[in-house]
Amino acid sequence: MRRLLNAGLVIATLLGPILTALPTSAAEGPTERPNVVFLYTDDQAQWALGAYGNKEIHTPNLDRLAQTGALFRNAFTVTPVCSPSRASMLTSRYSTQFGIADWIDPKIEPDLGLAPSAILWPELLKAQGYATALMGKWHLGTRPEFHPTRQGFDRFYGFLGGGNQPINPELEVEGKVQRVEGSLPDLLVGQGIRFVEANRDRPFLLSIHFRAPHVPYAPVPEQDSAHYDTLDPTIPDVPGLPRQRVKMLTKRYYASVSSVDRNVGRLLDRLETLGLTGKTIVIFTSDHGYMIGHHGLWHKGNGSWIMEGKQGRRPNMFDNSIRVPLIVRWPGVVAPGTTIDRVVSNLDLFPSIVEMTGSGVPDNLRIGGRSFVPLLREPNNTSIPWDDTLYGQYDMHNGQVANMRLIRTPEWKLIRHFEPGVEDELFHLTDDPGETRNLAGDPAHRDRKAELAQQLKQWMISTGDPRGSNESTAH
- Residue 391 counted as domain residue: no
Interval 92-106: pLDDT, tens:
999 999 999 999 999
Average pLDDT, the chain: 93
* Strand-pair category, 170-173 with 35-41: unpaired
Kindly report the pTM of this predicted structure: 0.93
Name the maximum alpha-carbon separation found in the chain: 64
Residues 343 and 410 reside in one and the same domain: no
- Residue 137 counted as domain residue: yes
Residue 10: what pLDDT?
Answer: 35
**pLDDT at residue 24 greater than cutoff 50:** no
Amino acid residing at 459:
W
Chain centre distance of CA 318: 16
Residues 119 and 151 reside in one and the same domain: yes
| Cβ-Cβ contacts under 8 Å for 385 (sequence gap 6 or more) | none
Residue 62: what pLDDT?
Answer: 98
**pLDDT at residue 280 greater than cutoff 90:** yes
Residues 112 and 191 reside in one and the same domain: yes
CA 461 vs CA 317, 358, 406, 420, 464: distances in Å:
21, 33, 14, 21, 5
71, 93 Cβ separation under 8 angstroms? no
Indicate the pLDDT class of residue 20, thresholds 50, 70 and 90. Answer: very low
Residues 298 and 204 reside in one and the same domain: yes
**pLDDT at residue 16 greater than cutoff 80:** no
Residues 354 and 411 reside in one and the same domain: no
Give the span between the Cα atoms of 252 and 245, in whole angstroms.
Answer: 11
- Residue 394 counted as domain residue: no
* Type and span of the H or E element at 451: helix 446-462
Interval 313-365: pLDDT, tens:
999 999 999 999 999 999 999 999 999 999 999 999 999 999 999 988 998 99
- Residue 393 counted as domain residue: no
Mean pLDDT of 361-378: 96
- Residue 425 counted as domain residue: yes
Long-range contacts of 379-383, Cβ-Cβ distance < 8 Å, separation of 24 or more: 379/70, 379/335, 379/338, 379/339, 379/340
Q: 3-class DSSP state for residue 207?
A: strand
Residue 231: what pLDDT?
Answer: 98
**pLDDT at residue 194 greater than cutoff 50:** yes
- Residue 332 counted as domain residue: yes
Indicate the pLDDT class of residue 232, thresholds 50, 70 and 90. Answer: very high
**pLDDT at residue 14 greater than cutoff 50:** no
Amino acid residing at 221:
P
Q: 3-class DSSP state for residue 433?
A: coil
CB atoms under 10 Å from CB of 187, counted, come to: 22
**pLDDT at residue 31 greater than cutoff 90:** no
Residues 126 and 177 reside in one and the same domain: yes
CA 134 vs CA 25, 90, 137, 463: distances in Å:
26, 12, 8, 30
Length of the chain: 475
Interval 32-63: pLDDT, tens:
899 999 999 999 999 999 999 999 999 999 99
Q: Looking at 377, 393, 410, which one is the last position of a domain?
A: 377
- Residue 176 counted as domain residue: yes
> Any idea what the CATH number is for the domain that residue 438 is in?
3.30.1120.10
Percentage of the chain exceeding pLDDT 70: 92
**Cα angle 132-137-139, degrees, rounded to a multiple of 5:** 110
**Total of domains in the chain:** 2
Q: 3-class DSSP state for residue 269?
A: helix
140, 114 Cβ separation under 8 angstroms? yes
- Residue 147 counted as domain residue: yes
**pLDDT at residue 27 greater than cutoff 80:** no
Residue 270: what pLDDT?
Answer: 98
Domain coverage including residue 464 = 401-468
Give the span between the Cα atoms of 250 and 393, in whole angstroms.
Answer: 28
Residues 433 and 326 reside in one and the same domain: no
User: Nearest to residue 269, comparing CAs of 41, 61, 49?
Assistant: 61
Residue 30: what pLDDT?
Answer: 43
Residue 359: what pLDDT?
Answer: 85
148, 138 Cβ separation under 8 angstroms? yes
Residues 418 and 372 reside in one and the same domain: no
Residue 360: what pLDDT?
Answer: 86
Give the span between the Cα atoms of 104 and 107, in whole angstroms.
Answer: 9
Mean pLDDT of 236-243: 97
**pLDDT at residue 234 greater than cutoff 80:** yes
Residues 426 and 339 reside in one and the same domain: no
**pLDDT at residue 22 greater than cutoff 90:** no
Interval 409-426: pLDDT, tens:
999 999 999 999 999 999
Give the span between the Cα atoms of 286 and 75, in whole angstroms.
Answer: 10
> Any idea what the CATH number is for the domain that residue 52 is in?
3.40.720.10
77, 346 Cβ separation under 8 angstroms? yes
Give the span between the Cα atoms of 225 and 235, in whole angstroms.
Answer: 18
Beta bridge partners of 339: 71
Chain centre distance of CA 137: 12
Residues 357 and 428 reside in one and the same domain: no
Residues 348 and 453 reside in one and the same domain: no
DSSP 78: S
Residue 346: what pLDDT?
Answer: 98
Percentage of the chain exceeding pLDDT 90: 90
Residues 185 and 306 reside in one and the same domain: yes
Mean pLDDT of 180-205: 98
